[in-house]
A and B are shown apart, each in its own frame.
Chain A
Amino acid sequence: MSDHAHSTTGLVHHFDDIEQQHEAGTLGMWAFLITEVLFFGGLFGAYAVYRSAYPEAFMRASSHLDVDLGGVNTIVLICSSLTMALSVYAAQKGSKRGIIMGLLGTMFFGAIFLGVKVIEYKDKWDHHLVPGDNFIFEGNPGGPEQLYFALYFAMTGVHAFHMIVGMVIICWMIKKAHRGDFTPGHHPLVENFGLYWHFVDIVWIFLFPLLYLIGAHSGSHT
C-alpha cells in the first residue's frame, strides 16, 4: 500500500508519507465540517427558539411555501449526493471518465436545485414575503411570520451559498480530473470535496421538514 503510494506524486515535503498526508487532509476536512455544523447551528438555534415561541405563526407562514417544489428539490439534492458518491467510487477505481461523469452529474443536479430555488425566491418576492420594509403577510406588516421568513431566507440562503461555492470547486476539479491529476491512490480532493457536498445535502435534509412541512397538514396555500 505505502510502496504504491510513494510512487505517486503529490507528497508534500513536511509529511512523512502519503498516508499521513491523506489522513491529515481527511481529518482537517472533518474539523472544517464541525465548524460548518456549528455555523448552521446558530441558525437552527434561532429557529428552535422562535418556532417554540410562535408555533402557529410559523405554521401559517410555512404554508406559503410550495411543498412540491421543496420535495422535488430534496430528491434532486439526493441525486446529486449519489452522483458525488459515484464520483468518489470512480476515483478509487481509477476511472477518469467515471470521476468526470460523477462530477458533471453533481453539477447538473446542483444547478437544477438552484434554479428551483430562484423560482421560489422570485415567488416570495412577488408576494411581499421577503423580510424588510416591503414585507406584508396576509395584509399585516412585520410580526412573527416575518421572523419565519427571515430565518427561511437566512438558512436557505446560506445553504445555497455553500452550493454555489461547491459548484465552483467542481469546475476546478473537473479541470484537474481531465488533466489526470487523480490516481487511485491519490485523490484526496475528490474524497474531501465529497464530504463537503454530502454535508450540504444533510443540511437540506433537515431544512426541508423544518421549513416546508410544518404547515402541510393545515390545508393548502395560495
Chain B
Amino acid sequence: MSSTLHTPAQHASATKGAKERDTYLTADYGWKSWLFTVDHKRIAVLYLISIMVFFLIGGTFALLMRAELMTAKGDLFEAETYNKLFTMHGVVMIFFFLIPSIPAVLGNFLVPIMIGTKDLAFPKINLLSWYIYLVGGGATLYVAITGGLDTGWTFYAPYSSTYANTNVAAAAIAVFITGFSSILTGLNFIVTIHKMRAPGMTWFRMPLFLWAQYATSLIMILGTPVLAITVMLLALERTFHIGIFDPALGGDPVLFQHLFWFYSHPAVYIMILPGMGVISEIVACFSRKRMFGYHFIAFSSLAIAIFGFVVWGHHMFVSGQSAYAGFVFSFLTMLVAIPSAVKVFNWIATLYKGQVSLETPMLYALGFIGLFTIGGVTGLFLAVMGLDRHVHDTYFVVAHFHYVMVGGMVMAFMGGMHFWWSKMFGRKYPEAMGQFAAVVIFVGFNFTFFPQFILGYMGMPRRYHQYNDEFTALNVLSSAGATILGTGFLMTIVYFLWSLKWGQKAPQNQWDAKGLEWEKAQSPPPTFNFEDGERIVVTEDAYAYTYEESHTGSGHEVKK
C-alpha cells in the first residue's frame, strides 16, 4: 500500500525545462498522481471538486423545493417526494458541503502554508479522510437513488427508528462514515497547529484564520464521535428493535435529540467558525489595517467552540425537556452571542478609518458581516423560550439558519475562494464579473430568505409541500429570489472554470496582502510550499499592514 503512495517530492525540476517553474499542480501528471497524492494542496483540490458536486446536487434539491412552493397547492410533487427533497437537501448540504467546505478545502490548502511548514502532520491520514468522505458520499447517493430518505436531516426518533419507510439505516451508516472524515481532518489540524509552526510563529502571531480552524477542529474531534455513536444506536434500534428510542419499550425519543444535538449544535459552529476566520483575513487585507482586537477575536473563536457545546437544548424547548433545562439552555445560548458579537464589532472597528477597497472578496466579507448579524440576532429570538414556542418549526427558523449558513458560511466560502483563487491556481478570476456575481448573489439571497422570516412569523410551518393561500405572495418572491441566487452561483462556477484556462496570470501577491501564503509562497506554490530548502522564520505579527502608520490624518496617535 505505502509503496503506491507518491512522495510529493517525486519529480523535482530536473525532469522539466528550466523556464517553467514547478508548481504543485505541474509537479506530476496522471490520475494516479492525484488519487494517491499526499500533498495537502492537491487533497484540497480533490475536496473542492467533490464538495462542488455535492453543492450542485443539494442546490438542485433546493430549487426543486422552491419550484413546488411557487403555488399554494401541492401540484408539482407528492408530499412524500417533497419530504425526501428537503431531507436530502439538508443531509447533502450539511454533511457533504458546509462541514467540509472551508476546513477541507481552504483549511487543507492554507493551514500548512500559513504556519510555514511543508505539509500537515499526517499527510496519509489527510488523504484517507478524503476517501472516507467519498465512501460516505457514495452511500448517501445510494440512499438518494434507492428511495431517498424522508426523516429530515435530523433523523428524529421515533419516526426514523420505527415508522419511516425509507432507507434510514443506510443513511445513518453514511453519516457515521462521513463523521470519521471530519474527525481525521480536525485531528490533523490540531496536531499541525500545535507541533508544526515555523520558528517564530507564536500562537499570537498566527493569522486569525488558523485560530478559527483550531477551534473548529476541537469541535470536530469532540463532537463528531457522539454523532457517530448516536446514529449507530439509531441503526441498531431500526434493525433489531431494541427499544433504546422507543417509548413503548421504555426508551425515550428525547434522548436521541440530546445526543444528536450534542454534536449537531456545535456542528453549526463547525460551519460558521472557519467562515469567521476567512472574514478576518479579508477584512484586514482590504482595509489595509492591523486587525482591531486581535486577541479578542482569537479567544472568541475558542469561546464559541467551548460555549457552543452547552447550548444544544435550545433545539428542544418544545420537545418535552424539563422547564429547568430549557431555562439553563436558553441562558447559555444568549451567552454565545457575546463572542460572536465581539467578532462583528472588531471587524467593524477594523474597517473604521481603514483604506477600504471593494474587490470581490471584500464584497462577500461585508455581505457576511451584515447577513451573519441578522442570522445571529434572529437566533437570539429563538433562544427566548416564549418566542420559540411561537416560531418553532416555522419558516422563521428556516430563514434564521439560512442567514447563518448561506448568508454566513457560503458567503465566507465564496469570499475565501475569490481571495485565494490566484494562490491556488495561479490565475486571476475576472474581477468585474466577480463583483457583479457577488451583488447578484447578495440580492438573490435576501429575496430568497428574508420573506421567510415574515412567513414564519405569520405562522407558516416548515417541511410542508403546500400552504394556505395567504402565504402565496411571499413564497413566490422567495422562489424568484432562489432563481437569482442560483444564477449567481452558476455564474461564479462558470467564470472560475473559465479563468483556469484563460484567466490572467496572477503575480505572487495579487492583493499585496500580508501573511506567509502571500509573502513567501508563489502562486501556485511548489509541492513543498516554499522555495527549496528555505526554512521559514517568522519575525512579525500577523496583519502587519501599514496604512495606519503611514496615514497620519486618522486623528489617532500613530502606533509605533
Contact = CB atoms under 8 A, between A and B. Distances in A.
Contact of A147 (B118, B196, B251): B251
Given A32-B187, A42-B230, A27 B195 contact: yes
Contacts of A209: none
Name B's interface SS: helix
A40 to B, nearest CB: 8
For the complex of A and B, the 7 pairs showing the least CB-CB separation, nearest first, are: A42-B229, A39-B225, A131-B242, A150-B242, A14-B118, A14-B119, A38-B225
B122 interface: yes
Contact of A49 (B7, B117, B248, B255): B255
Contacts of A150: 236, 242-244
Interface of B: 7-9, 117-119, 121-123, 183, 186-188, 190-192, 194-196, 221-226, 228-230, 232-233, 236, 240-244, 248-252, 255, 258-259, 262, 528
A158 B528 CA distance: 40
B107 to A, nearest CB: 16
- Which of A28, A42, A49, A132 has the most chain B CB atoms closer than 10 A to its own CB? A42
A10 interface: no
A46 B226 CA distance: 11
Given A41-B225, A42-B225, A142-B243, 16 more contacts: A14-B528, A24-B122, A28-B188, A31-B190, A35-B187, A36-B225, A39-B226, A40-B229, A43-B233, A46-B233, A49-B252, A49-B255, A53-B252, A54-B250, A142-B248, A154-B233
Given A35-B225, A154-B236, A132 B251 contact: no
B233 A42 contact: yes
A37 B195 CA distance: 23
A27 B226 contact: no
A92 to B, nearest CB: 21
Interface in A1-37: 13-15, 20, 23-24, 27-28, 31-32, 34-36
A20 B195 contact: yes
A45 interface: yes
Contacts of B187: 28, 31-32, 35
A27 B7 contact: no
A143 interface: yes
B226 A24 contact: no
Contact of B250 (A27, A43, A133, A142): A142
B409 to A, nearest CB: 24
B123 A14 contact: yes
Contacts of A36: 225
B249 A42 contact: no
Contacts of A34: 221-222
Contacts of A40: 229
Contacts of A62: none
A147 B244 contact: yes
A14 B123 CA distance: 9
Contacts of A42: 225-226, 228-230, 233, 259, 262
Contacts of A15: 196
11 contacts: A13-B118, A28-B122, A32-B187, A42-B233, A49-B252, A54-B250, A57-B250, A132-B242, A142-B248, A146-B242, A147-B243
B305 to A, nearest CB: 14
Nearest to A30: B191
A98 interface: no
A31 B244 CA distance: 29
B221 A35 contact: yes
Contacts of A131: 240, 242-243
Contacts of B243: 131, 142, 146-147, 150
B60 to A, nearest CB: 34
Nearest to B186: A31
A38 B222 contact: yes
A160 B427 CA distance: 53
B241 A39 contact: no
B262 to A, nearest CB: 8
B466 to A, nearest CB: 38
Contacts of A13: 7-9, 118
